Amino acid sequence: MKRRILLPTARRLDERPDLAQFEIGRYSWGHLTVANRNPGCVLKVGQFCSFAFGTEVFLGGEHRTDYVTTYRFGSYPPFNETYASAHAHSAGARGDITIGNDVWIGHRAMILSGVTLGDGVVVGAGSVVRQSAPPYAIVAGNPARVAGFRFPPEQIEAMLRIKWWDWSEDRIVAALDLLMSEDIQSFIDAYDVAVEDSPLPQQQGSASNDGSTSG
């Protein structure tokens, strides 16, 4: 069964028992189609994610290439009852799909079951993602592979400390100029707790710990 979801309406998921398998964070938006073939799997989407038109997510329904046959006998009698009892635990799924915060998924990308996409990940258009990706990775291709990272490692660590997506709306509004800027380091300098809590550099001629002065 496939279900097409328009994410701005997904904030009311608690009013839709038929969408109980989906957990959607605030302000995530876009169009995606979910192949919802395993009632035991859950789609978890973080905050401020963007899904381009044609994104497909597969909660099961995948063909097992490690079986003798890839054919799914559950579709037709007389095989379906036996198949259902023998394979109810799997339904062609490898587990939940977890999509972090501030993730952008490009046009007609496909996300297969069991995948976790870290915060800040970008998925290229037309990609088929069957493996998890670390925070702020850029993945592309079929099968999708890590093509690079959005920022250097030290900046990624800082962004994961800041977690701007957890801020209140008022704080986000106040930071919009830097949030929508190429100056990543200025954003980090302004909001990273590690920077805010670091000791000020000692000035020449200032008192040292033992009370003496330098210079």
- Rounded to the nearest 10 degrees, the angle between the axes of helix 153-162 and helix 184-191 is 40
Query: Catalytic annotation on 63?
Result: yes
Name the residue with tokens 């963007």.
Answer: 50
State how far the Cα of 131 lies from the Cα of 143, in Å rounded to an integer.
Answer: 8
The DSSP letter of residue 22 is E
What lies within 8 Å, CB to CB, of 97 at 6+ separation is: 41, 42, 43, 44, 57, 59, 111, 112, 113, 114, 115, 116
Name the residue with tokens 């998925």.
Answer: 123
Name the residue with tokens 């999708």.
Answer: 144
**Radius of gyration (Cα) for the chain, nearest Å?**
23
State how far the Cα of 159 lies from the Cα of 192, in Å rounded to an integer.
Answer: 8
Contact 48, 101 (CB under 8 A): yes
* Candidate list 31, 63, 87, 107, residue with the active-site label: 63
Structure tokens at 68: 């003798």
Active-site residues, by number, are 63
